[in-house]
Structure 1
Amino acid sequence: MATPDPAGPPATLGADPLDHPDPARAADAAATENLLRCWIRETGGVRPAGDTLCIPLTASGIVLRVPVRFWSATGWHRFGRPTLDGAPSGAPPVDAVTLAALLVREAAYAARAAGSTHHADPAHHVAPAHRAESGHRGVSPDSADAPHGADPGHRAGPAPRPDAAGQADPGHRPDAAHRAVPTDLADAAHPDGAATRTHQADAAHPDTAHADGAHPDTAYADASHAVAAHADAASVDAAPADAADPDMPDPDRGPADAADEAAALVGRVADSVRRTAAFLAERRSAPTDPAAYGPFLTAEQSLVLGHPLHPTPKSREGLSEAEARVYSPELRGAFPLHWLAVDHSVLAQDSAWTRHGRPVSAAQLVAGLAGPELPALPEGTVPLPLHPWQAREIRHRPAVAALFDAGLLHDLGPYGPAWYPTSSVRTVYRPDAPAMLKLSLALRITNSRRENLRKELHRGVEVHRLLRGGGLFARWRAACPGAPGFDIVRDPAWLAVDGPDGTQLTGLDVVVRHNPFGPADDAVCVAGLTSPRPWPGQTVLRSRLAYTIARLAVRTGRPLRTVAAEWFLRYLRSVVRPILWLDGAAGIALEAHQQNTLVLLDPEGWPVGGRYRDNQGYYFRESRRAELGRLLPGIGERSDTFVPDDVTDERFAYYLGVNNVLGLIGAFGAQRLADESVLLAAFRRFLADAASGPARTGSTLPARLLEAPTLRCKANLLTRLRGLDELVGPVDTQSVYVTVANPLVAGAM
């Protein structure tokens, strides 16, 4: 029996641009859709009345007309190629690089317009809501912040004004002066670098959405007005209580910096498009994965298009074409590691790894992974593996060069068998090895340069010790029974280098990650599961999710959408419920976005378990400090993992609720596998049971997702437009979040 294809879009829309035979055209279409999704989410765009979305760009005096192939309640919209209103017949559509330049120009114009009326009112400032004390960053280093989220187009009405404590005042209605305060993209592009929490203007309200004679299908009457009107938006990741006034100019960021960042964003869009085209060309010419790979590696190297709500998902600054061929998972890259010998006097390490009940040091683990091909080491040294690209880059750092000159570091060169890059690019895997290695890599991948921080190394070991001792893991398994169940992929050991004076050096380190996957284990990161890619014998892109659901429909003889709904419910039970239990029972919230979350599939393709990976993405609730301290004395002292509960609530709602589950619903809808409204209703029933039913978990997240009219959502376009690196630097260089309507709440859609 033939495998059924999911229902396609209306015939009037024509062929899917992602399936264009020219890989460059297909890659450009993917990037264009990403930019449009980001713009709509981050400016409060609303669903058009017809099948064309019109976006006026005041700064350029033009209107974009965008065919709508699918409008998603959760943000995973599908679009055709945009054109300029009034362009002559036969004019080419707007390509991704041109679109990026137009959107950046519009954001800068909105910033200048908003700045002319901007006034510093202390009541408008965001309250200190994040981790000035903890230093914990809410973004995974292994992540492109994997996909999706609630769509701001379906608005529940004007956002309430934050009070002095950063909480909503339901009785407040913003007046005209408040609406003039710049927000979102305006703040992101403003040469002063202002980042304030502001309020939704009436222009975004349904009653005034078509003001000023706008086209009836126009998403918002004026794009620059929408930029300045979107609700409660660009609060950068945190501000300490004594932080500088966010409305005052940033002395380190002027107009030239803003222009450089804007130009850099456009350049990164071009880089991402070019690399995606190369990935598509390679995968179309050789769609069949090597049999020796196994399901895990095949899945890790299949994320061809990347994050659907990121403006530059495949940009990798600093990587040459020749290097990309070897180091890219999308091109099935593989390479030997580059080895250093590190003198014991500058070596830092920790390990909670055991073998047959006996402790094994990180140095012993790494030496075992090096194998017999490694040459004899200088006396008093241990081997340290590096990514080959990193091995070249660190030689230019003065502190590292001094260690080589002093004879404390020795370059051994590349040795050993090939390791395979996984979806994060910098974590490498070998099917026959007991461990994976999470390497530092100073390439800027999506929003950050991917180098390990020392507190993250401590955090991985700490979590392993916490779960192993005190009975927590046994309680977790008892509460969420079934095989193979849910677990955390452990990071129980690490090696790093310090300076002779004890200074911690960044970039010379490795995390030894347990490899729990056998050759037959079908463990798939959710981002890879939902991302379209080429398949053998097909001319269209298709996700593993679509393939699996279609195959199950054939095998069971049931309708495609019925199978999709059951698959989704099994996912909630196997993956989401254990994550909620860990939060409720232990006060540990996981940064479980789609790239950090692995679903374990049985031979037929049904979810039967899950795994979480990331030694950075843990939030220990401050309210549970004493309880966790009893399980593991000294917890958090070096890992810096305790986070205020309100911050934990916000980020947990985004990563698990918006990005993971609502993003999965969006993938089902956008790929015509299920009706989003049906899956949203199923998710509401699951949350109600998890909040107060027989299967309640004790987590506060289910009630929050069921009741909050709006949710905080990461804004990747804003983050890139500001040139932010989410993993390093002071608080005001971290990621940007916006407020979006919650599609789970009645009336939000």
Structure 2
Amino acid sequence: MISSNPRILANKYSIRSLINSLARDYSQENFIKFSNDALIVEVNELNCLTFELAAYSPLGGHRYSGKILFNNEEVSFDEMLPILCERFNEVDTSFIDNVLNSRNNMELILREYENRDIIIDDYLSSEQLMLLGHPFHPYPKCKNGMNEEDMRLYSPEFKNEFNLIWLKCHSSVIYTNGDIINVHKAMNELANFDLEELEEDYIYIPMHPWQWSRLAKKNEVETLLQSGLITKILQGRRKWCALSSLRSLYSKDAPYLVKYSMDVKLTNSIRHLQPEEAIRGMQMETVFKNEKVDEFSQKFEVLYEPFYVALKNNDGSAIIESTIQLRENFASDNCLLLATLAEENPYTGKSHLTTLVEENAKNLKLETGNFFLARKNWFSAFLENVVGEFIKLSEEHGVLLGAHMQNIILRMKDGLPIGAVYRDCQGTGFTSKSVEKFGKKYDFISKTKGNILNPDDVNKVYTYYLIINSVFNTIISLANGDEKAEIFHLNQFRNFIFKGYKESSFLKFLLESETLFQKGNFRCCITNINENTIANPWDIYNQIENPIVSLLRRPRQYQGTLYECKTHSGQTISLRAFDLDKDIDKFHEWHNKEYIYEFWEMNFSKDELAKYIQGLKSSPFQLPIIVDINGQQAGYFEVYWAFDDRIAPYCDANIYDRGIHILIGEEKYLRTKAVYESIFHLTKFIFEDDKRTQSIWGEPREDNKKVLKLAELLPGWSHEGVFDFPHKRSNLLKASRELFYMENTNE
């Protein structure tokens, strides 16, 4: 039973984010171990901390019960922290304070929702109901610098609305990377939305009320006020609210969103906008619009950040704490923030994404395997309409977007993602492909600007943001604590990449590298590194085991004869990989026979069939086989890994289970023992091909009675029932390895 006590929940989820970030950052070292449903951290040679697991996650999103042991004695979350810190040689004094700040803030937030439903059903709720924060961070809800009153007023989880403070400024006090005329126009367009009357000779700058209360006390700002360069302070009339990042403010009909510098510690840094980062929004917009990059997709939208502004010091430099960035507003109907959708509802223990997918299954009235199929369909749509768009942008134009979950807004239709809106151009960069395409035209695209990434850097940063942070975390959320489901969706992702993008150098790295790079949030926090100002950003990256390589079957190439034997009836049966040059004519002939196309429905042209076979041969999970009897082509078998195929939602397949489709093309073998012997030896070949294969599955059409009779006779095979594909009603057949060898009397 899930506790509803906010302190117990805050401790449990703080353990999850803290220990999962630790385990991921130090996964290549031997002081982290898993044993008997627990994660163990060896503090030193004599002492260890044990965190009881509620569910193990192959991708690292482990769930914990909340119980902590130190040398077999139970300790509290607060008692655990200084013990944990003994493991590390260098620990910043702020670390424990920030972890406790995060835990206490989480408790405060959870108390707000103790007796309320937490429903993510529109854009604003998805921004304001991220209650737990980054799932791989030591202090995901750290807001050091704000007290409880500040949080209740300005933190998004409390859903408060407030007015902006406006400064009427002379243009000489404005520090900006934009053309001052365009800046004047855009700032006053926003001011017209929020103020009743403007004096057009001035530029109006909006200030976050919390930040302004600090800025107004700075000597540099006091000097500006006294000089008359800031001549009036006004209060806006519209209501604004904080988005999930806290420092970005939203008002539904405003022409722009506003992002602020804020004197508050959020996750890895004090959130001050740095000019070298803020300028990237203008760079991205210039390339996207001038080169029509923004027309590459009907599914994808980037929210441009045309310029930043700040108040100017006497020496002409920017007052960094006053920096603000405008960001385009957008049509937010039917949009949801991915990070919140993937988050767990702490009072149900179920992710919001799981709840959405379950609702999809009910609406579609799916029967057998309904939730499994609905989950598979949702993830397919996510890969095709969201992840694929980020990949295409990188591959075709050399543009990288810092696509972590909190920057991806999903466009939804009928419960499925149909596209995405990307925000935060500070997290963008160009690859060497961009230099090649656009470098001569734009002087800001050069190898000296800091956001030009070579292929090795792309492998690091894009792997972390797009794959580890967004794809893997979405899989963790979809699986909702089901270890097998995580492997299934990871495999689904691998096949998506393999099918569409396997020639990409980045994705080739992703599919084949033994390790992946990820940003070490725990490493960053334990020593209090500010990731925004660190000299070498790669210093906070570390390598982790690549689960695509370590957890999944590696694709195999099959050629020539795979299996051959002499049967008791004296015939020679050979199974061999389909040879397009040798076998396509016969394959085409078979598919134009009525008794075959009645069931296979593939009476296509020879070219179409050749394309079909080539697709199977290049697939990571399908194997087309020709069966020869006495050296003559007799039939066609399609062998596939069931875990990867459409049958997976309807059977209890494991990752090494296989499935088969059977076609006997030569009439002279029909109703003879040759059919039985061919399928028997196919079964034997499959079990011998991989010793980990425990079951083989089949899904013939329900009215194919002959196959059912064969299943009764063949050793190991059984009829498991009937189910409905979207396109046909099928029998479910299964061959068990154990039963096959137990019942086999043919040898």
- Aligned equivalent of 1:307: 134
Q: Distance in 1 between matches of 2:534 and 2:493?
A: 38
Q: Distance in 1 between matches of 2:124 and 2:193?
A: 25
In the alignment, which of 384, 389, 398 is matched to residue 219 of structure 2? 398
Q: Distance in 2 between matches of 1:606 and 1:674?
A: 23
Q: Does 1:445 find its partner at 2:259?
A: no
In the alignment, which of 584, 591, 602 is matched to residue 395 of structure 2? 584
Shift of 1:350: 5.5
Q: Does 1:340 find its partner at 2:326?
A: no
- Matched residue SS, 1:677: helix
Q: Distance in 1 between matches of 2:362 and 2:321?
A: 50
Q: Distance in 2 between matches of 1:347 and 1:29?
A: 47
Q: Distance in 2 between matches of 1:634 and 1:24?
A: 50
Q: Distance in 1 between matches of 2:68 and 2:466?
A: 36
Q: Which amino acid aligns with 1:338?
A: I
Q: Distance in 2 between matches of 1:351 and 1:85?
A: 57
Shift of 1:49: 4.6
Q: Does 1:744 find its partner at 2:556?
A: no
Alpha carbons of structure 1 residues 294 and 20: separation in structure 2 relative to 1, 3 Å: closer
Contact persistence 1:470–1:631 (CA under 8 A): no
Shift of 1:522: 2.1
Deviates more, 1:272-281 or 1:40-49: 40-49
Q: Distance in 2 between matches of 1:373 and 1:523?
A: 25
Q: Does 1:727 find its partner at 2:727?
A: no
Q: Distance in 2 between matches of 1:522 and 1:499?
A: 43
- Aligned equivalent of 2:41: 55
Shift of 1:342: 2.1
Q: Does 1:527 find its partner at 2:339?
A: yes
- Matched residue SS, 2:40: strand
- Aligned equivalent of 1:469: 290
Contact persistence 1:741–1:748 (CA under 8 A): no
- Aligned equivalent of 2:716: none
Alpha carbons of structure 1 residues 690 and 380: separation in structure 2 relative to 1, 3 Å: same
Shift of 1:745: 0.6
Shift of 1:594: 0.9
Alpha carbons of structure 1 residues 272 and 746: separation in structure 2 relative to 1, 3 Å: closer
Per-residue Cα deviation, 1:425-461 (whole angstroms, up to 9, x for no partner): 0011111212211122121111111121223332112
- Matched residue SS, 2:66: coil
Q: Distance in 2 between matches of 1:429 and 1:326?
A: 15
Give me the identity figure in percent: 25
Shift of 1:498: 2.6
Q: Which amino acid aligns with 1:472?
A: V
Q: Distance in 1 between matches of 2:164 and 2:52?
A: 47
Q: Does 1:505 find its partner at 2:326?
A: no
Deviates more, 1:640-649 or 1:307-316: 640-649
Contact persistence 1:458–1:638 (CA under 8 A): no
Per-residue Cα deviation, 1:355-376 (whole angstroms, up to 9, x for no partner): xxxx982323322323477486
Shift of 1:465: 2.0
Q: Distance in 2 between matches of 1:674 and 1:560?
A: 14
Say how many residue pairs are matched: 547
Q: Under a length normalisation based on structure 1, what TM-score does the superposition of the two structures give?
A: 0.68
- Aligned equivalent of 1:96: 77
Q: Does 1:564 find its partner at 2:375?
A: yes
Per-residue Cα deviation, 1:522-560 (whole angstroms, up to 9, x for no partner): 2222211111236xxxx5243320111110111123321
Structural mapping, 1:233-244, within 5 Å: none
Shift of 1:37: 1.0
**CA-atom RMSD, angstroms?**
2.8
Q: Distance in 2 between matches of 1:397 and 1:105?
A: 39
Per-residue Cα deviation, 1:272-308 (whole angstroms, up to 9, x for no partner): 111111111112334367xxx9811111111001111
Unaligned runs of 5+ in 1: 1-14, 109-188, 190-257, 353-358, 478-482
Q: Distance in 1 between matches of 2:263 and 2:388?
A: 35
Contact persistence 1:386–1:509 (CA under 8 A): no
- Aligned equivalent of 2:86: 105
- Aligned equivalent of 1:599: 410
Unaligned runs of 5+ in 2: 554-747
Q: Under a length normalisation based on structure 2, what TM-score does the superposition of the two structures give?
A: 0.69
In the alignment, which of 459, 469, 476 is matched to residue 659 of structure 1? 469
- Aligned equivalent of 2:184: 363
Per-residue Cα deviation, 1:721-743 (whole angstroms, up to 9, x for no partner): 111111125337x8612210000
In the alignment, which of 456, 477, 480 is matched to residue 277 of structure 2? 456
Contact persistence 1:529–1:543 (CA under 8 A): yes
Per-residue Cα deviation, 1:452-496 (whole angstroms, up to 9, x for no partner): 12233321122112111223223x12xxxxx5x112122124332
Q: Which amino acid aligns with 1:73?
A: P
Shift of 1:608: 0.4
Q: Does 1:682 find its partner at 2:668?
A: no
Contact persistence 1:64–1:82 (CA under 8 A): no
Contact persistence 2:33–2:41 (CA under 8 A): no
Q: Which amino acid aligns with 2:540?
A: V
Q: Distance in 2 between matches of 1:294 and 1:414?
A: 32
- Aligned equivalent of 1:494: 308
Of Structure 1 and Structure 2, the greater strand share is in 2
Q: Does 1:383 find its partner at 2:209?
A: no
- Aligned equivalent of 2:99: 269
- Aligned equivalent of 2:699: none
Structural mapping, 1:424-439, within 5 Å: 424-439=245-260
Q: Distance in 2 between matches of 1:649 and 1:309?
A: 20
Per-residue Cα deviation, 1:637-660 (whole angstroms, up to 9, x for no partner): 997532333212210111111111
Contact persistence 2:174–2:310 (CA under 8 A): yes
- Matched residue SS, 1:308: coil
Q: Which amino acid aligns with 2:341?
A: L
- Aligned equivalent of 1:325: 152
- Matched residue SS, 2:460: helix
Alpha carbons of structure 1 residues 700 and 86: separation in structure 2 relative to 1, 3 Å: closer
Per-residue Cα deviation, 1:406-430 (whole angstroms, up to 9, x for no partner): 2223450533211010011001111
Per-residue Cα deviation, 1:59-114 (whole angstroms, up to 9, x for no partner): 7x5332322221111110111123325656xxxx4333322222112213xxxxxx
Larger radius of gyration: 2
- Matched residue SS, 2:123: helix
Q: Does 1:716 find its partner at 2:521?
A: yes
Q: Which amino acid aligns with 1:362?
A: V
Contact persistence 1:564–1:673 (CA under 8 A): no
- Aligned equivalent of 1:134: none
Per-residue Cα deviation, 1:217-269 (whole angstroms, up to 9, x for no partner): xxxxxxxxxxxxxxxxxxxxxxxxxxxxxxxxxxxxxxxxx5xx2x3111111
Per-residue Cα deviation, 1:153-206 (whole angstroms, up to 9, x for no partner): xxxxxxxxxxxxxxxxxxxxxxxxxxxxxxxxxxxx2xxxxxxxxxxxxxxxxx
- Aligned equivalent of 1:32: 15
Contact persistence 2:279–2:426 (CA under 8 A): no
Alpha carbons of structure 1 residues 626 and 706: separation in structure 2 relative to 1, 3 Å: closer
- Aligned equivalent of 1:295: 122
- Matched residue SS, 1:465: helix
- Aligned equivalent of 1:646: 456
- Matched residue SS, 2:88: helix
Higher relative contact order structure (alpha carbons within 8 Å, sequence separation ≥ 6) = 1
Shift of 1:625: 1.4
Q: Which amino acid aligns with 2:42?
A: P
- Aligned equivalent of 2:675: none
In the alignment, which of 15, 24, 43 is matched to residue 26 of structure 2? 43
- Matched residue SS, 2:525: helix
Q: Does 1:555 find its partner at 2:363?
A: yes
Q: Distance in 2 between matches of 1:488 and 1:405?
A: 40
Structural mapping, 1:98-177, within 5 Å: 98-108=79-89
- Aligned equivalent of 2:656: none
Alpha carbons of structure 1 residues 294 and 29: separation in structure 2 relative to 1, 3 Å: closer
Per-residue Cα deviation, 1:101-154 (whole angstroms, up to 9, x for no partner): 22112213xxxxxxxxxxxxxxxxxxxxxxxxxxxxxxxxxxxxxxxxxxxxxx
Alpha carbons of structure 1 residues 653 and 64: separation in structure 2 relative to 1, 3 Å: same
